Amino acid sequence: MGSAAVDFEARLEDHHCLLVLVQPLGPAGPLWDRALEHICRVRCTQLNDQQQPDGSRGVWLRYVTSYAADGSHWGDFQAHRRVLGLLTVGECGSKDENGGGVEALCHQHEQLLQQHPTAIDSRCLLFGGTASQPLPPLVSASGEEEADRGEEAVPPVSKLRSTQCLLYPELDGEKLERDVADFAASLAWVLESRRLERCFDRHGPSASALPLLKAPFEDFVGLDTESRQFRRRCQGRQRKQLGDLSLQLGLGREAHALYTEAQELLRSVPDWLWLAATLEGAVATTCTLTAGGSEAIQQQRRLSGPAVDEGWEQLRESCIHYAKYSPVAPIQAECGIKAARWLAAQGRALVAAEFVQSVVSMNLALSELEKVSWYGSLARLYSELGLERKAAFYMRVAALKCMAGKPNPTQCYQLLLKSLPGYRLSLEKPAKGGTMEGWPRLQIQLLQDLLVTARKMDDLAQAVSHVCQLLEWRLEWLSPTERAEACQQLQALASRLQGPASAQPPLLHLPLVRRFQPQAPAPHLRPLRLGSQTGSAAVSSSNSPFIFSPLQPHRRSGRAPLLWVQGEVAAVALQLCNPLPTELAVQHMSLVADGVPLESFPASLELPPESSPYPVKLLGTPRATGQLRLLGGC
């Protein structure tokens, strides 16, 4: 038996839940998405228990849409890894349409059920059927046929499991949720009967002859089954398994006591592998007891300092013991992921980062597709810790892994976009004169990755946009060789660009403007105010008893106002620089103004490569009187 598959989204809360597999019968469509949404709303069921303060205890469910068939083989080692329920969703049609008949769908359901023998109950949920369609007979767990109204039918199954085929004329969310709640309650009651049976065996006369539970890879050959250590090993593992079952059924205090007994027994053997799983379960139990009720399990509360330190020590010891057994490397990785998420919720980001780093250093045998999920999960984990640059790094690694094996440039591009905030890079350039934060060389590398990926996607418009962003935003940090390569790429891409995108100016902030100076009219064209100003000046000066006063509240500014004449041509002097190693052609450049209508006369020019300030004049004619505000040129 091989090692378990890694669950990159594992959490300590998973130990509380019953694992239910939900799969579609046939291709997934809109009906599957809607049905899955209603199914996932049923997250908790209640068991009557008069010993509890509120007379009941909650049992939580965890739904997955895919699960390895051999993952349930680790159910004896950790109960939350065992598939306990199976829900299938199908859409009925004619028998000739993709095998959409009821009998064919029930047969597919049975095949899935055989792949997961640990499932104790299942439901085949079929939608779109009519009363005229033939239904398989409803068969009880003992094989006896039962009468029904035609809404439910059960194909024959084994005595240990029950199956029901539920037929819905249409998707009724309320009825579906009620049926799923009944299914969840049946799972909980079957497990409760198992727990009571285990408790009886624990205290019964056969307690000394308990079987030895094993992990899938364990093979005890030549072990003395009559020794005291063997009996303690059996008892410790049985206590641990009963603790798992109690934890799943909402009995946190009973589970804590069982885990404590199991730790003492397993340490005395010593049985490091099962001790590691026991310590992990004990911390999960602490989460349950701290939550204070089933409704709060999904919302972690912060523990006190000593409780967090104790949980951290137990999880660290658990990882150390897991590391002694190479077949459980995926379980060790999951333990580190669970510890990191739990510690992050407790406000211990630095300690959580140590667990993540230990997982990163592990040599996990993963496929290229699994590596994408793995690095994406690491990115989300570091983001939860508040380490955004680390998160961006692993998100970029996940994006690059998408191009290995079977390249998927679209997925790679989307992952690269998700890494932008961590590197403080935004594709929306701030206004001219604004500052850009971050690390220029890292941002240059990321823009180059986006450029290459956009070219592989044959998205020429995005590729041109990224080259322009590289040249405009990080030009001063590019080497001469990088500038030349970027210019060559821009010319090649722009020549292939067609359609409306080709009409847009690719470079918005080049050439660089070193000087922007409005010019006064020639002396003989300057406007003069009609009337004499000398008389008024004399009157104003005679009103003051002082010849000179430094206090002049209405003093004019040092710069004389610039006056243009309506209907006369005015000019603005510019000095332009071309920092690119290639000739820069400006086909249209004119003044942009506000406040007064301005008729602009566009100019065109060609700037040589790496040119010094080049003088240019832009002309325009005001068409009205008033305050004219020059905004710049375009």
Give 319's contacts (C-beta < 8 A, 6+ positions apart): 276, 332, 335, 336, 339, 355, 358
- Residue 41: pLDDT band (50, 70, 90) is very high
What pLDDT is recorded for position 316? 95
- The pLDDT assigned to 233 comes to 92
Q: What are the residue ranges spanned by the domains of the chain?
A: 12-199, 210-421, 424-509, 511-520+563-634
Say what the pLDDT of residue 561 is: 67
Separation of alpha carbons 386 and 345, rounded Å = 11
Q: Which of 54-63, 234-243, 503-512, 604-613 has the lowest mean pLDDT?
A: 503-512
Nearest alpha-carbon partner for 318 in 373, 263, 367, 268: 263
CA distances (Å), origin 629, targets 130, 519, 559, 574, 625: 74, 14, 16, 16, 12
- Residue 540: what pLDDT? 47
How far apart, in whole angstroms, are the C-alpha atoms of residue 548 and residue 434?
45
Q: How far apart are CA 314 and CA 339, in angstroms?
A: 10
With beta carbons less than 8 A apart as the criterion, state whether 630 and 572 touch: yes
Q: What is the DSSP letter of 131?
A: T
26-40, 256-270, 348-362, 573-587: the lowest-pLDDT one:
573-587
pLDDT one-digit tens code per residue, 202-234: 665 554 567 889 999 988 777 777 888 888 999
With contact defined as beta carbons under 8 Å apart, do 72 and 82 qualify? yes
pLDDT at 415 over 70: yes
- Residue 526 pLDDT > 90: no
pLDDT band at 553; cut points 50, 70, 90: low
pLDDT, residue 431, reads 46
Q: How confident is the model at residue 550 (pLDDT cuts 50, 70, 90)?
A: low
Q: What pLDDT is attached to residue 624?
A: 81
- What does the mean pLDDT of the chain come to? 80
- How many whole angstroms separate alpha carbon 167 and alpha carbon 127? 6
- Could you tell me the pTM of the whole model? 0.75
Mean predicted confidence (pLDDT) in 5-10: 85
Q: Do domains 210-421 and 511-520+563-634 have the same CATH topology?
A: no
Q: Find the helix or strand (DSSP H, E) in which 69 lies.
A: none
Largest CA distance in the chain: 126
% the chain with pLDDT above 70:
80
pLDDT digits (tens, 9 = 90+) for 62-99: 999 999 888 899 999 999 999 999 999 988 864 444 44
The larger pLDDT score, comparing residue 123 to residue 633, is at 123
Which band of pLDDT confidence, cut at 50, 70 and 90, is reported for residue 148? very low
Task: Give the residue, 521 or 280, on which the prediction is more confident.
Answer: 280
Q: Which stretches of 218-348 are DSSP H helices? A: 228-248, 252-268, 272-291, 305-322, 329-345
By the 10 Å C-beta count (0-12 exposed, 13-18 middle, 19+ buried), 603 is classed as middle
Strands 17-25 and 83-91: parallel
CA dihedral sign, ordered 531, 537, 538, 542 = positive
Instruction: Determine the pLDDT at residue 329.
Output: 92
CA 541, 542, 547, 549: dihedral to nearest 10 degrees? -50
- Banded model confidence at residue 262, pLDDT cuts 50, 70, 90: very high
Query: Which of 32-46, 297-311, 435-449, 537-551 is the most confident on average?
Result: 32-46
Q: Above 90 in pLDDT, residue 395?
A: yes
pLDDT at residue 147 above 50?
A: no
CATH number of 210-421: 1.25.40.10
* 198 within 8 A of 245, measured Cβ to Cβ: yes
Q: Please, which residues bridge with residue 518 across strands?
A: 572
- Report the CATH number of the 511-520+563-634 domain: 2.60.40.10
